[in-house]
Amino acid sequence: MLIKLTGGVVYDPASGIDGKQQDIYIQDGRIIAKPSEDTPIAKEYNLQGKVVMSGAIDMHTHIGGGKGNIARTLLPEDHRSDPVERTHICRSGCGHAAPSTFITGYRYAEMGYTAGFEPAVLPINARQAHMEMGDIPILDKGGYVMLGSDDYLLRLLTAKKDQKAINDYVAWTINSAKAIGVKVVNPGGINAFKFNQRKLDLDEQNSHYGVTPREILQVLATAVKQIGISHPLHVHGCNLGVPGNMQTTLDTIQGIGGLPMHLTHIQFHSYGTEGDFKFSSGAAQIAEAVNKNKNITIDVGQILFGQTVTASGDSMRQFANSHHASPKKWVTMDIECDAGCGVVPFKYKDQNFVNALQWAIGLETFLLVDDPWRIFLTTDHPNGAPFTSYPHLIRLLMDKSFRNDMLATLHPEAQKMTTLASIEREYTLQEIAIMTRAGAAKLIGLQDRGGLSPGNWADITVYTDQADRQKMFEKPDYVFKDGELVVVDGKVVHTKWGTTHIAKPDFDPSVEKGLKEYFDKYLTMKLGNFKISDDEITEDGRGSLTVHPTH
Amino acid sequence: MTEILEVPSPFCGIGTDDLTVQVDGVTLKVSANGCAINTPLFEQPITDTLPRIDGQTCTLAEAVAKAASILKPTNLPIIGGCATDVNGMRGLLALADRAGAVVDNMNFVGARNNFLALQDSGWMNTTLAEVKNRCDLLLILGTDLEAFAPRFFERYLWTDAMFVEDTSQRTVVYLGKSPSGQASTSPNGTAAKVIPCADTDLPEVVGVLRALVNNKPIRVTDVAGIALSELQALAAQLKTAKYGVVTWAAGALGFSQAELTVQTVCEMIKEINKQDTRCSGLPLAGKEGDQTANQVCGWTSGYPARTRFNRGYPEYDPYLNDSRVLLENGEADALVWVQAFNAKSVPPTTPLPTIVIGRSGMVFEREPEVFIPVGTPGIDHAGHAYRMDNVVAIRLKKCRDSGLPSTAEVLHAIEQALA
């Protein structure tokens, strides 16, 4: 069946097309070149005056895995404020801060998103992450597997094993967990918390292993590069939320020595200690370092005001921040000599000095980093705000007067501590398309996604160009997923199942010898039962795997 | 005959995955690493192979059609039991969503003690591999641990550890119930310390223990027959242990408002962590799919597995959605019982139309209108089940070809018949 999208204004940074009127043809789920004149067109959509982009890709969103389900269980009162009724097309569920899986899929699609990536897949919890993501309709998905606080890696480092041994272990873990990237959270810190350390700076040693976060970042970033994974090591750094952590972040950028590295939710790692409240913005210095170091990519982790829940692998920092819990309840867990997690509900308030400045720091970061290919639009859902606030965030980036009007309502001392009001920049549609589409696909290494040239899968979003960018981005006219029309006027009209994106880096099979001994002696599961098989994703007839190349 | 190695068990909750199972046709024998809980549940023979309507055997298609015709006119059907694997729960929740049913896991009354504490103030917990490698003090509250999980001590305490030099030196303390056997006795011969009290005294005893952990002055000299000095010593042990673990089975705390005792324990654990050492909780559960039910219901609806769908969207209430109450009050109008693990776990007897999706071999007081024998996850088909610590999902294996359908297949067929 041939579908024609006629006359839309196309923003396709992947092909260098910036607001050009052109037709798009879809056949068998993919975009094709203009067919011969005599090919019958089964369905034509008149998109005169409409804005056409590829489906958006959220490269960092907590949509699958145990801590998300703890967050759901912890917050029945939040779900009650946003019940979602069943329809003849859609399942029931709940929304807001910790939405149910089905509602996650529908609401992302209704904003024009067609893929989301879970950044914190614990190897031992990867099954759960995939099972939850397996119940998210419409979206493609994938995960970054978490390493760096696992006792096996730290033992390898203490034993001074060579980089090849690390590479084999990292590659084996990516294969076992069905991941497409590698993340490190508070490198070594989750592990140190189990030995009762309460903080861990970049050059501070784990009290048992004698290993520092700097060494962990170095070997993991090297491993990711050498085994050929496209997505650079995805780093949630040390000292999240600690005033003065800007210096840690700058040192982290310097310390990686030019290796590719992605610093995630950098807003939470960009704080100085100036001013009466000993809390200030480090966004300018961070942005300068990012602009200068081309090996670095970042996503922001913007906070927006209101109730949410923070769900993180960083048990050490979540415990330290647990007194901020609102409502006053929280969970931390130590997990399987593998990692940990912490879940702390949070209410960001515009009349709270720190929260107001966090808001401004995030926006400063967006506006001061020059290259939209190296910065990504995230709220670290749900940690800074639920993903449903993206259209509002896009308006803040694209509309200076709207941004400054909001700034003027915030805590007055926070207004004094930010340069935001003086920043003239407004994001263009093309820059938004880079951050949320082409750049994200390139960063993750997704083939045939994030672009609109022939050969790409037909993940396409059509918007009505409106001056109010929030209104524009929260209600697309049409969303196509793999060529199927799934959303009309911001409502799901049809559901389907997306694929799971993975990578399969090579490793020396002899790596399993040491691992098997370790599993048998110290872990609670047999090595053979730990590895996730393909059929676990595909056996229900809905899931599928898409393997992306390593290089 | 074939032999399958490293078979995981969905029955005991502690995720044993080292069983050796011999398969001879459809007959199974656990030849290594069995226990009093797992072995009989693996070895139970298949007796029912065909569905029944009103006691008469029929085809699967007929049974599915009959089940759908029973559910079609109902206003508030209950789907109870909820003892199956992840795919079974997916099918169950899809059916509940379509039929407007109440979903109620059969172990929820016990689990509620934990959920109420969790949803009110939270907790700091750990998992089995952390216990195995780090725990130097295990405090067991109100629970006969080895009766709950016969191989717990062998697998997780008296065994190799990365961070405990001599695991036989680990300290085990029972508070409340005494152990029923010797499994908690260290290989070096040291028996567990037992501080006995009645279950109903646990709220008071645990309250005093928490006060002592926080250095609050206590004026009495004994609490429910326990000398205060014993509790003082225990509080000191908790604060000096490097990695203390406190474990309890929510279902074993069979007294009124036990959730407050769970909450006291969880808050005490947090307070110990604020006094410069580590301590963690370890709730025991995971029997016959209870964690699986709550996990899948959690991500599908947002709520644990005591949730109703009759208004078109999920509504959680840990008391009002109790299926026993709904049956007694005459609020429900049909019962679907899903129990793929245990043939002895039959539905409550009710005059309401009853549909049982159950393990082969169930004996009913009153023959249900529809009985569909299904395969057991981890024996008759592959699947996934959650361990007690909630983080680890185990991959269940298919051990034999019995031809029995899976829970998921049957529930999906009923749901489709209602469409």
Condensed to tens digits (0 to 9), the pLDDT of residues A27-74 reads: 999 999 999 999 999 999 999 999 999 999 999 999 999 999 999 999
Which residue stretches of B195-257 are H helix? Answer: 202-213, 228-240
Shared domain check, A456 and A322: yes
Chain B residue with CA closest to A540: the answer is B87
Q: What is the mean predicted confidence (pLDDT) over B375-402?
A: 96
Question: How confident is the model over A439-455, as pLDDT tens digits?
Answer: 999 999 999 999 999 99
A434: which DSSP letter? I
Chain A residue with CA closest to B394: the answer is A529
Shared domain check, B303 and B385: yes
- pLDDT of the residue at B258: 98
Assign residue B153 the CATH number of its domain: 3.40.228.10
Under an 8 A CB cutoff, do A94 and B314 touch?
Answer: yes
Do residues A362 and A299 lie in contact, with contact meaning Cβ atoms separated by under 8 Å? no
How far is C-alpha B391 from the geometric centre of its chain's CA atoms? 14
Amino acid, res. A104: T
In a domain, B9, yes or no: no
In a domain, A158, yes or no: yes
Name the domain count of chain A: 2
Shared domain check, A448 and A405: yes
Hey, what are B75's tokens?
A: 């206003």
Contacts of residue B330, defined as CB under 8 A and 6 or more positions apart, other chains included, come to none
> CA of A135, closest CA in chain B: separation in Å?
8
The last residue of one of the domains, among A473, A492, A511, is: A492
In a domain, A522, yes or no: yes
What's chain A's average pLDDT?
A: 98
A35: which DSSP letter? P
Residue with tokens 């084999």: A168
Hey, what are A332's tokens?
A: 């931390």
Question: How confident is the model over B76-115, as pLDDT tens digits?
Answer: 999 999 999 999 999 999 999 999 999 999 999 999 999 9
Task: Indicate the pairing of strand B226-227 with strand B222-223.
Answer: antiparallel
A531: which DSSP letter? S
Under an 8 A CB cutoff, do A524 and B15 touch?
Answer: yes
Hey, what are A377's tokens?
A: 């639009």
Instruction: Give the Cα separation of A186 and A263 in Å (integer).
Output: 12
- pLDDT of the residue at B399: 98
How far is C-alpha A116 from the geometric centre of its chain's CA atoms? 7
Q: How many helices (H) and strands (E) does chain A have?
A: 21, 26
In a domain, A36, yes or no: no
Do residues A415 and A408 lie in contact, with contact meaning Cβ atoms separated by under 8 Å? yes
The last residue of one of the domains, among A469, A492, A515, is: A492
In a domain, A32, yes or no: no
Shared domain check, A268 and A403: yes
In a domain, B1, yes or no: no
Using a CB-CB cut-off of 8 Å, the residues of chain A touching B242 are 196
Hey, what are A4's tokens?
A: 């024609």
Shared domain check, B53 and B76: yes
Using a CB-CB cut-off of 8 Å, the residues of chain B touching A528 are 6
- Decide if pLDDT at A429 tops 90: yes
B186 touches A at CB < 8 Å? no
Using a CB-CB cut-off of 8 Å, the residues of chain A touching B6 are 526, 528-529
Hey, what are A274's tokens?
A: 């100036």
- Decide if pLDDT at B363 tops 90: yes
The last residue of one of the domains, among B231, B262, B284, is: B284
Shared domain check, B381 and B296: yes
Do residues A18 and A11 lie in contact, with contact meaning Cβ atoms separated by under 8 Å? yes
In a domain, B31, yes or no: no
Shared domain check, A524 and A464: no
Which of B294, B303, B393 lies at the smallest CB-CB distance from A79? B303
Assign residue B383 the CATH number of its domain: 3.40.50.740
- pLDDT of the residue at B323: 97
Do residues A244 and A214 lie in contact, with contact meaning Cβ atoms separated by under 8 Å? no
Shared domain check, B121 and B65: no
In a domain, B210, yes or no: yes
B331 touches A at CB < 8 Å? no
Shared domain check, B187 and B65: no
Under an 8 A CB cutoff, do B122 and A329 touch?
Answer: yes
Shared domain check, A517 and A488: no
Using a cut of 0.90, tell me whether the model's pTM lies above it: yes
B257 touches A at CB < 8 Å? no
Shared domain check, A431 and A372: yes
Instruction: Give the Cα separation of B244 and B238 in Å (integer).
Output: 6
Q: What is the mean predicted confidence (pLDDT) over A260-281?
A: 98
Under an 8 A CB cutoff, do B301 and A93 touch?
Answer: yes
> CA of A111, closest CA in chain B: separation in Å?
21
Under an 8 A CB cutoff, do B301 and A100 touch?
Answer: yes
Which of A72, A92, A521 lies at the smallest CB-CB distance from B309? A92
B394 touches A at CB < 8 Å? yes
Shared domain check, B394 and B368: yes
Interface of B with A in 12-31 (CB under 8 A): 15, 17-18
Among residues A240, A57, A51, A222, the alpha carbon closest in space to that of A153 is found at: A222
Q: What are phi and psi of B284, to 5 degrees?
A: -95, 130
Q: What percent of chain A has pLDDT over 70?
A: 100
Shared domain check, B194 and B133: yes
Name the domain count of chain B: 2
Give all strands (DSSP E) within A17-80, no chain letters. Answer: 17-27, 30-32, 43-46, 50-54, 56-58
Question: How confident is the model over B118-132, as pLDDT tens digits?
Answer: 999 999 999 999 999
Output Rg (C-alpha) for chain B, integer angstroms. 23
Do residues B293 and B385 lie in contact, with contact meaning Cβ atoms separated by under 8 Å? no
Q: What percent of chain B has pLDDT over 90?
A: 98
Shared domain check, B225 and B115: yes
Do residues A330 and A345 lie in contact, with contact meaning Cβ atoms separated by under 8 Å? yes
Which of A93, A128, A524 lies at the smallest CB-CB distance from B132? A524
Shared domain check, A280 and A169: yes
In a domain, A15, yes or no: no
Assign residue A482 the CATH number of its domain: 3.20.20.140
Residue with tokens 């093309």: A430
- Decide if pLDDT at A26 tops 90: yes
Do residues B288 and B339 lie in contact, with contact meaning Cβ atoms separated by under 8 Å? yes
Domain span at residue A538 reads: 500-548
Do residues A217 and A233 lie in contact, with contact meaning Cβ atoms separated by under 8 Å? yes
Shared domain check, A417 and A322: yes
| End-to-end Cα distance, chain A | 35
Among residues A407, A409, A435, A405, the alpha carbon closest in space to that of A420 is found at: A407
Question: How confident is the model over A298-317, as pLDDT tens digits?
Answer: 999 999 999 999 999 999 99
The last residue of one of the domains, among B284, B302, B331, is: B284
- pLDDT of the residue at B287: 86
Model confidence band, residue B286 (pLDDT cutoffs 50, 70, 90): confident
B85 touches A at CB < 8 Å? no
Shared domain check, B249 and B137: yes
Hey, what are A386's tokens?
A: 């639920």
The last residue of one of the domains, among B284, B306, B337, is: B284
How far is C-alpha B287 from the geometric centre of its chain's CA atoms? 3
Hey, what are B318's tokens?
A: 């840990």
What's chain B's average pLDDT?
A: 97
Shared domain check, A504 and A487: no
Domain span at residue B76 reads: 47-107+288-418
Instruction: Give the Cα separation of B21 and B42 in Å (integer).
Output: 9
Which of A66, A72, A86 lies at the smallest CB-CB distance from B97? A86
Question: How confident is the model over A225-267, as pLDDT tens digits?
Answer: 999 999 999 999 999 999 999 999 999 999 999 999 999 999 9
Chain A residue with CA closest to B316: the answer is A76
In a domain, B21, yes or no: no
- pLDDT of the residue at B294: 98
